[in-house]
Structure 1
Amino acid sequence: MTAELIVDARNATGECPVWNTAEQALYWVDIPAGRLYRWSAATGQTQSWQAEEMLACIALHPAGGWLAGMQSGIFHLQPQDDGSLKAERLAQVEHARPHMRFNDGRCDRQGRFWAGSMLLDMAAGTAAGALYRYDGQLQQVLDDLIVPNGLAFSPDGRTMYLSDSHPSAQAVWAFDYDTDSGTPHDRRLFIDMKQHPGRPDGAAVDVDGCYWICGNDAGLVHRFTPDGRLDRSLAVPVKKPAMCAFGGANLDTLFVTSIRPGGDISDQPLAGGVFALRAGVSGIEEPAFIP
């Protein structure tokens, strides 16, 4: 299953791909650049818009545009014709320390928005990160995380997955999830990623309930069954795949964003690009935010 480069985006940290079914287009962000991107499946053309601070994760907003986790809080973003993003801050976050931002995030099956926070200095290895829920009010639900990542929900919404991608952690946990209250409980180890190639980064879930997660540093995207068994690993031509999402006309294409690190990357010239893979299975349409 050869990975096809669809956009040579050269993103510093390409993250949070979301397929917009109505537009048949893929959206994603470059976190440190604060840019939102759109790729049209019909035309192959790419557009982008600039935010005023780091932009980490997005979900469709019912009023148009995007709900977004950024540096200072949760925003409603609306792309403008001049390439800017009109931003309305809906909730300010009180980070545990200075120099933090939101990271991975998405909506649960009921339309609540979830996002994790982290120190900008990932190398510090400090567990200052937390996981937040936004449903009109912003509430911290979990803490003691270094780099929260891999957030995903089972098809029935009753299992929540969360990873910590810091090299000292490299774990994916599963939680029972109360769909009425939006509360995770009974946390347990789902995958010890130290037993598999790559650190656990962004994730997606397919119609079979299998969990797809990017193996950062290993150039792989892994599929795990609901009981935590490794089912398959697909290769991408870069070392740092960051997050994956299902899209395409039949939701059977796996799109993968990636990271373009500094230094000599002559061995991976496509780093920071966006790739498409035939995964052999369909995904689930991404829920929009429900205020």
Structure 2
Amino acid sequence: MIDPQEIPLLRYLLLLRVHKPLLVLPPYLALELAYATSVMISERLPSSQLKPWKKLITAWEAANPISEDRRTRLIHNPPQSVWPLDLAWLPYRVKQTYGHGEIISCELKLFGRSASHELFLELILPVLEAAGLTPDRRWSRPNSVWGGFHLENVYVARGRQWEPVVEDGQVDFSVRPGTRQWCDGLDLTVVPAGHTHRLRWYTPYAHTPEPPQFRKREHLCRVAQENAPGMSALVQALAVRLEKLAPEISSDWMLGIEDLAMQVGNNTEHVSCVPKYWPGTVWGDQELSYVPEQLMPILRLASMLHIGFHTHVGCGNFRLV
């Protein structure tokens, strides 16, 4: 079985306080978060560290041509590119419009070699603060999120608890979270009370880095149902993810698991295509015929780490409901 202690991970909960009268979020906030922070990070780095970031920005721009007004770039597609950091943006979807004083919540995960609290404090935190306070014509629009919030509080996960890192805009530099504390007290073998065999995609699953070629909704829904991953595919996707984030973990955990996973049925009747301007291809609910106890930790870990493509913009996160 996989020991979660072997997987370096830092989870941050970000609370963004709106200071505009009206703020309208983009269709999929994680896309703009990833793009804007990528550009701003690249502008703060010395030239010796710029090469991979320039490649990423070029890929962003190629995947999202500038809009007709020639002022802003509408970010709808994540790039097919190597990312300099292993991270995932995961905004909590509550609503699309916010008023003055309301809170937007977002989770940021740093994985593997990128799981560094110093990196968060020295690079990501200043970029988020600047993005919230300063409008930028490259991605700002009327009532957009950029220049419309201040970063009020930040918490870091210790098991199921959130410990403060930033309170009322003030950083507590005495906090030194470890990259293994995310799983303190978590027993992934425990079956959540009241769970069913329904797997619900909290963010879309991207089975391919390519966006669908045909835009008719009927076709996209058929593509989604055909590519909704069954239990065996979920196990394989986790193996691919672990190979990248924690290559030192032996693949022995898969012995016997794959055969067991192949016995689990997968009903995709309630799977649908993703909403317009969202990444990925699979959305909605899947009905698994049953979930063996041996596979419960696999599912919970796969959801925590995200699976499939475009994990940087939060894709590949699900729940059993």
TM-score by length of 2: 0.26
Q: Which has the higher contact order (CA 8 A, sep 6+)?
A: 2
Query: Which structure shows the bigger proportion of residues in strand conformation?
Result: 1
TM-score by length of 1: 0.28
